[in-house]
Chains A and B, each alone.
Chain A
Amino acid sequence: MSDCHGNAPRASLLPNPSIRPPRSAVDRPIIVAIVGPPNSGKSTLFNRLTGLRQKVANFPGVTVEHRMGKAKLKGSQDVFLVDLPGVYSLHPRAEDEQVTHDVLTGERADFPKPDAVILILDVTNLGRNLVLAAPILSLGLPTQVLLNMADDLTARGGKVDVAALSAELDSPVALISAAKGTGIDRIQQFLLGTAARLNTPPVRIELPVLQDLPKCRQWAANLGMRASYRAPAPPLWTRRLDAIFLHPVGGPLVFAAVVVAVFQSIFSWAQPIMTGLQQAVASSGQWLNQVLPDSPWRSLLVDGIWSGVGSVVVFLPQILLLFLFIGILEDSGYLARAALIADRTMAKFGLQGKSFIPLLSAYACAVPAIMATRVIENKRDRMATIMIAPLMTCSARLPIYTLLIAAFVPNIPVIGGFLSLPVTVMLGLYVLGFVTAIAVARLLKSSILKSSGSSFVLEMPPYRWPTWQSLGLRLLDRAKVFLRRVGTVILVVAIGLWVLAHLPYSHGKAPDLEHSFAGMTGKAIEPLIQPLGFNWKIGIGLITSLAAREVIVGTLGTIYGIQGDEQSKGLQAAIHQDLSTAGAVALLVFFAFAMQCFSTLAVVKRETGGWRWPIFQFSYMLALAYSGSWLAFHATRYFLG
């Protein structure tokens, strides 16, 4: 998964290429590109080599991401690694293949040509993987060929003569296991020697004509033969697991069980940590209140910043848990099976199985999800997926969902004690978002995005154990992004709101909330939202949450913080004053549908190349939100009497 809400920084690790010294100098940073087919363990290797010294960046002008990092080496020479998108060939067709091609050939003006290449291949399927060696070696850059998953190869009875292959390729070859960390010293040796190798002549071996795929495959097969390659036995465990996960009855059942288990554990496991954090925020706020002298600044700090930002920070554990589960599903290889299972259903709504992967990521965050739609080759399928992705229940909705459910839904068991009512309501909201999304997709695909026949081609990677390192790095990345947002967007909104809630001064005193600028704005839109069961205070929250959904919780925190006497009662109790149960249901539905996220709109604009689609998306979702919550308000009122 890629950067959430990311205004990803450019690769500023590197000096401007135009002022770089000539290639023969060795006192400048060395750049080594990591290239390999998808599922070859490229990212695991990159994490292994760089650890925490890495960052995600975007190539300007295109949406393709790459990661840069400084290699952990003993020498004095700095070596920077760039992790390029996984490719099967250098035949530029898709955008990410184009980028990989242009970077490696030095055709990108904004990115220096790498000094060397690390080509990582899956040795358990060497024949097909070696095909990529032809275009890479033809680049003429010093190249180390890594045969990854060496542990798998020997465990399943395969073998390869590394020295022979090295001689055939006229390049260093090493057997490694990126997941286990074996053979890493060989890579570090290669990296340390890069500077000395800058002017080595290109390899002297005969390469096949790159356009002729059968020839290239034959070349790879011959190489394998001369290196005494014996392919390992087929992965037994993958067969066994697929017999279960793709079983006509068992498959969908496992799929449903995985989804339910993920959500149930998010709410039961995260709860104690969240309660602890909540208490920490509340008691530290009280402590600040006692030690600071009474002034408007204390009010700004405690009521504005502390309660505003604090009420959002408590959701960090829950969001990280969700990303952890999605990370495990993705790294283990199950996500590809899920896409396969989903394809038929998605096809009924005009989409395809590949839409499933971004849509699942959208449960964490729509921004990486929309960037992940690049795997969908069909432009119209891709556009439809982008349009519906924000309807998936992203983690930014969790704060308001959790708050309202805890405040209004009694904790009683349902369905024979299998689930509790709050969990059922939460699942219901997820289902609501999903069902609406596919209905919208159906509508779009049968009208403005009609397309004839799309294809679905997806490689099923073998199942693998996710590594703690890559899961950990992923979570660290998410936590940083989330906290950066808390520190910027949410902080700014919290301060801005506090200021608006304390102006205009009359008789040298701050006004009541009702007569402040914030209150006046809320009052102004009250007639519009009264039919939905919301009053002006909720109205203030709706306006501030246009920036980002989770802001509403901070806003409510600030609103009730301002009133002073609610500190101890907590947000859950306080919100009962302003919201009936029917209003709460309406508010839940509003947040399920409305497009309240600047970051998503910005990324949709970037991906679709204009404002047309984001404006359309914002409008249709707002219309859905308004009519949906109106219906929900009146229906709930009717049923509850």
Chain B
Amino acid sequence: MPAAQKTLADLRTGERCILDRLDLPESVARRLMELGFLPGNEVIPGHRAPGGGPRVFRVDGSEVALRADTAARLYIRRDPESDLIVLS
């Protein structure tokens, strides 16, 4: 696995990506997968809580908030066909 693989924490708002793998303890990973963070699913970062708090991610039809340290453990691959879209 390349050391420089990007994570959800590296994305700008509205930047689509495909989730690749979750590097988290089993219980947290399972909870996240139930909420839609399954490898292969599209994830779009949305609003960040004011003051740099957790961020809302659009995934599998719903919105889930994660802290930056959790987002940094979710590795992604860029979807080649995606463009930058603006969420409003």
Which residues on A are within 8 Å of B, measured CB to CB? 88-89, 91, 93, 124-125, 127-128, 131, 213-214, 217, 231, 234, 238-239, 242-243, 246-249, 251-252, 336, 340-341, 343-345, 347, 353, 377, 453, 455-460
Contact = CB atoms under 8 A, between A and B. Distances in A.
Nearest to A89: B34
Nearest 6 CB-CB pairings of A with B: A344-B53, A125-B61, A88-B34, A246-B47, A460-B63, A251-B50
Given A128-B60, A239-B87, A252-B51, 13 more contacts: A127-B61, A128-B36, A239-B88, A242-B56, A248-B51, A252-B50, A341-B49, A341-B53, A343-B49, A344-B51, A455-B28, A455-B69, A460-B62
Contacts of A345: 51
With a 10 A CB-CB cut-off, give which of B60, B62, B70 has the most chain A CB atoms: B62
A456 B65 contact: yes
Contacts of B52: 344
Contacts of B88: 239, 243
B62 A128 contact: yes
Interface in B32-79: 32-36, 38-40, 46-54, 56, 58, 60-67, 69-70
Interface residues of B, number: 35
26 contacts: A88-B31, A124-B61, A125-B62, A128-B36, A213-B38, A247-B50, A252-B50, A341-B50, A341-B53, A343-B49, A344-B51, A353-B54, A453-B69, A455-B28, A455-B67, A455-B70, A456-B54, A456-B66, A456-B67, A456-B70, A457-B32, A459-B35, A459-B62, A460-B56, A460-B64, A460-B65
Contact of A340 (B36, B56, B69, B87): B56
B12 interface: no
A88 B63 CA distance: 15
Given A217-B38, A239-B87, A341-B53, A93 B64 contact: no
A214 B51 contact: no
Nearest to B24: A455
A343 B53 contact: yes
Interface of B: 27-28, 30-36, 38-40, 46-54, 56, 58, 60-67, 69-70, 87-88
B5 to A, nearest CB: 20
Nearest to B25: A455
Contacts of A213: 30, 33-34, 38
Contact of A457 (B28, B40, B62): B28
Nearest to B59: A128
A203 B65 CA distance: 37
